[in-house]
Amino acid sequence: MNQMRKCPRSQSRIWVRVALTSALTTAVLSGGAALDPTFAPTRAYAATTNSASVTGIEDYRYGPLNINQTLWRYVPYFVSQKTTFFGIWYLQQMLKDQGVPSNWDGHSLTFTDLPTIGTNATISVNGFALPQAASVEYQGHTYVTASTVLQALGGSSRYDATSRTLSVSYNPSQASTQLTTQSTMSNQTSSPSTTQSGMPNQPASQSSNQTPSQASSLSGSSLATVGTEVTLFAQHPGRLDNASDLTEPSLVWHNIRIIPSGGGTSPGQVITKLSPTGSTSRSLADSASGDVSVGGATWRTVPIVVDNNTTFFGIWYLQQLLSEHGIHSSWNGKALTVSNLPKVVSNGTIKVGQTTKPSTLILYNGRVLMPLSALSGMGISVLEDAASQSINIRTSNANLRVQGTLTTSANHPAAGLVAIQDAEGNVQVVTAGSDGSFSAQVSRFGSSVIGVRTPDEGWIGEDVPLTPGNASHVSVAAEQSMVTLHGQVAFATRATYPVVQVSVRNVITHAHYYATVQPDGSFTMTVPVGAYEAFALVTNEDALFILQNFLAGPASSNLVIHAPTLPTGEEVSSLHATVQTTDSNVTPEALQSVDNLFEHVYQETVASEGITPVQKMNIHLYGSINAYQQHYLNEGYGKSDAQAIAEQSVASEEGTNTINILMPTLSTVDGLNILAHEFTHALTAQVSQKIPSWANEGGAWTQGVNAETDQSPSSMLKQGIQWNEWVDIVAHQQSNTLLPLGQASSLAGNYNVEAQDYFAVQQLVGQFGWPKFMKYVRAIDHDANAFSDTFGESFSTFSQHVTAVLKKDAAGTSRGFNVSLRTLPNGPHQIYFISPSGQRFLVSGLEPNQSYTFACNADGTVTAPNSLTVTSVSGIPVAVQGDWFVGSGGSGTSQNRQEFDLVDEFGLPFLDEVILYAKGGSVEHVYPATAIPNGIEMISVAQK
């Protein structure tokens, strides 16, 4: 087992959830969808009578129509002349609910088109056939499964049913080369149902050859708020006339009211009233025939019957029509079941990065299908061969050359940095010269400028999509603006849960912005324009980390946060991991959070390490330190060793595919860091069993901190996280208690040994680069001189170099430092400073959208620009003795208190973290960031 991660100082860096006690109470009924009992058509759909013969109804019933494993509704049908008939109006309504329009004019039933499921189509991506790929033809276009195809192309997709939007991420550089097995789609066309009760000229009462549907009138589930009334179907057993072999329940209407009990927090009582009904034989005056047309061509002439101004259509013919389009159906004499009917979303949207366009989508077998034409629009080559029913998809040149200019708010060229994010969330930073010009090679679809940095103004958020139309003349102004987000928490299924707060995190600054979620799932918040992650949803029980990328700008102010379904068991499985809880102290939110966080760090860590896992990761969660300790006792560790592991580590890796996590630490240490750190250990174990502890831990810390910074281009943010760890070992070096590299036990507890390991690896990476370090790791097991062969010096010499650098840092003394701030448009007019000695100063006169530089002097005083007023004050509580604090809000203001924590040790000033306070003054949130939500951003912290 590799050494455990310890972080004594970093455990003060917490993302604290708020203890909220409000509850959203819903009652779940085990019942069908609420229906209007007067759903029969009110206008006549009479057919032209071609025959004067009198037809009798031998059996009249209401039976369930099930679509894709869900009860659609109960529909009338009857048996006449040994043929079962089904209402045309209901057929039209059923297909309309699936997005397929039709028209009945009294003579003909006309479909503009019906979706046709591909039967023998082979879909290949870059020469490799896709397994289990589906294709559907509709209105002349071919649709393919978005998630399967895009994953093979190195991308991903997410469908939001609320907004009917398919969001696509596509990065051709990550296209999969693992698809090596040719696979042909199975033939999805079935023969007609062998059930005889619905076929022409067969007795309706003949027994079925198929298993009867288990769906009842109360199958499925409905949600109703306490105190509301819904109308449902129920069934009452009884024998119908002329049904000698069937005991068919009669249709009954009843009302259900949910009555609050126990203060309205329990599901309440259900009151029902049932009334049995029956049916008798009747005679009909009208029978005729009608035409069915699909896509302008007559499909078949079918018998129809008219009863009470409603036209009925043979069920067997309906089955034949669906079967010819590859759609399975069965009729067992009681229930009609359509098992794989595609649903057409005609008013859908495809969103690639920040570019959206209207498109028809198809929902099929739990998947979302997109038109091939949309892939072509993404720069992907698509070749269809109708004769062989093959679809060949290939990546093409999907890059875009960008030429742009960075200007100041006054439209003058400015030198600086430009951050560009692609559709996958990857960020690259390019340099703008003194004339403001910059250039970049980006993904053709879904890339945007998300921020710019100038020396005087720091990072400024942007939302500038890059398209072929503007790529050659992009102009980006260094001027921060604000946007109000109108958000909605959306659930993909009916399995909802109360969400009381949302947190979004700025990609560059890592500032968190919080909003209260209303009972209907809506929320609003005002944030600086730029790139964000929907970071977490806060429930009544815990925080659920989701990390959903989005841009906030004038054209993208509407935000839908996709709430994942919470696991109901003790494990959750995703593409690359199986996460299991070991005790009842782990919440469903925590279980899902760890899975989301791991999937978030997976790709970047694998790409950086250059090592692909041989199997899924098994991640075990422990809800208490006692459970965590007991695990190691069970594995044979002595009591003292197990106790040391439990008390001094937050996670561990065992072998090549097992990670253990002490869950309370997920609230005190960034979960992205933990998972990437331990995952790196597991990957390293695949290529080296002899790696020394210092290289193993230092490499894991490198990947962990990279995951924690999570694509932020801010060097100040990363340096703050690093020096938060390193000041401990500098202090021990100053007191001569730091052992040479590699000679201390990671669990000794005298100092943070792994911080020393991380510092050492960073010296190598800074000089030689990360690929060179990984070359050394791969050589260790078979090359006794791997270190010197890779880096050109002995390990002993390198260790001495690390010690010398630390000694130089330890010899420094604080002479004070300068801090530069920028106020945002919504920024405060007053801020305060607190020195390490406890002196407090109030600075007044700040203006929005301005930059200011202050001197934090070694004697604890503050020097401000002449335009501002500095006043010595008292009464501002101090959170941590010995640090500098810069903040605003609190007593006497309308805002909660928010502040930066600045550390100045050994003449090494750095931004440690930010602290947000609750209304009562208690600490609410603490995390590394370079901005605080009330409108202040840190530009720089530099030694005088």
Alpha-carbon radius of gyration of the chain: 33
Tell me the average pLDDT of the chain.
Answer: 79
In the block, which residue shows the tokens 């039976």? 63
861, pLDDT greater than 70: yes
Between residues 69 and 737, the one the model is more confident about: 737
Q: Which of 659, 567, 654, 573 is nearest to 621 (CA)?
A: 659
Ramachandran assignment for 353, one of left (phi > 0), alpha (psi -120 to 50 degrees), beta (any other):
left
Q: Which of 459, 413, 456 is nearest to 437 (CA)?
A: 413
Q: How confident is the model at residue 286 (pLDDT cuts 50, 70, 90)?
A: low
Q: What angle do CA 231, 236, 238 make, to 5 degrees?
A: 150
Q: How far is CA 416 from the centre of its chain?
A: 33
Q: How confident is the model at residue 869 (pLDDT cuts 50, 70, 90)?
A: very high
| pLDDT given for residue 381 in this prediction | 78
Query: Which of the residue ranges 382-391, 672-681, 883-892 would you say has the lowest mean pLDDT?
Result: 382-391
298, pLDDT greater than 70: yes
Q: In the numeric block, which tokens belong to residue 230?
A: 């819904």
Q: Please tell me what DSSP assigns to residue 51.
A: B
Beta bridge partners of 73: 65
* pLDDT mean over 506-526: 97
C-alpha–C-alpha distance, residues 133 and 367, integer Å: 10
Determine contact, residues 831/886, Cβ cutoff 8 Å. Answer: yes
Query: Which SS3 state, helix, strand or coil, does residue 190 take?
Result: coil
Query: Which of the residue ranges 94-98, 246-250, 710-714 would you say has the lowest mean pLDDT?
Result: 246-250
266, pLDDT greater than 80: no
Determine contact, residues 689/702, Cβ cutoff 8 Å. Answer: no
Q: How confident is the model at residue 129 (pLDDT cuts 50, 70, 90)?
A: confident
| 268-272, 422-426, 461-465 — most confident range | 461-465
Between residues 543 and 249, the one the model is more confident about: 543
Q: How confident is the model at residue 190 (pLDDT cuts 50, 70, 90)?
A: very low
Q: In the numeric block, which tokens belong to residue 404?
A: 């742009």
| pLDDT given for residue 358 in this prediction | 83
Determine contact, residues 885/917, Cβ cutoff 8 Å. Answer: no
269, pLDDT greater than 60: no
pLDDT per position as a tens digit, 817-842: 999 999 999 999 999 999 999 999 99
Long-range contact set of residues 250-256: C-beta below 8 Å, sequence gap at least 24: 250/276, 250/277, 250/278, 250/279, 251/62, 251/74, 251/217, 251/277, 252/276, 252/277, 253/37, 255/229, 255/230, 255/231, 256/29, 256/31, 256/224, 256/229, 256/230, 256/231, 256/232
185, pLDDT greater than 50: no
Q: How confident is the model at residue 11 (pLDDT cuts 50, 70, 90)?
A: very low
| pLDDT given for residue 748 in this prediction | 67
| pLDDT given for residue 139 in this prediction | 85
C-alpha–C-alpha distance, residues 908 and 906, integer Å: 5
pLDDT per position as a tens digit, 316-373: 888 899 988 989 988 888 888 998 899 999 888 888 876 777 889 999 988 899 988 8
* pLDDT mean over 493-518: 94
| 467-471, 510-514, 662-666 — most confident range | 510-514
C-alpha–C-alpha distance, residues 193 and 328, integer Å: 9
1, pLDDT greater than 60: no
pLDDT above 90 covers a percentage of the chain that reads 46
444, pLDDT greater than 90: no
845, pLDDT greater than 50: yes
* DSSP β-ladder status, 122-125 and 116-117: unpaired
* pLDDT mean over 7-24: 25
Q: How confident is the model at residue 694 (pLDDT cuts 50, 70, 90)?
A: very high
* pLDDT mean over 143-172: 82
| 14-28, 64-78, 113-127, 161-175 — most confident range | 64-78
| pLDDT given for residue 891 in this prediction | 82
* pLDDT mean over 238-258: 29
* pLDDT mean over 565-589: 91
Q: How confident is the model at residue 436 (pLDDT cuts 50, 70, 90)?
A: very high
* pLDDT mean over 667-684: 92
* pLDDT mean over 388-415: 84
Packing angle of the helix pair 693-709, 588-609 (nearest 10 deg): 110
68, pLDDT greater than 80: yes
Q: How many CA atoms lie within 13 A of 727 on its CB side?
A: 21
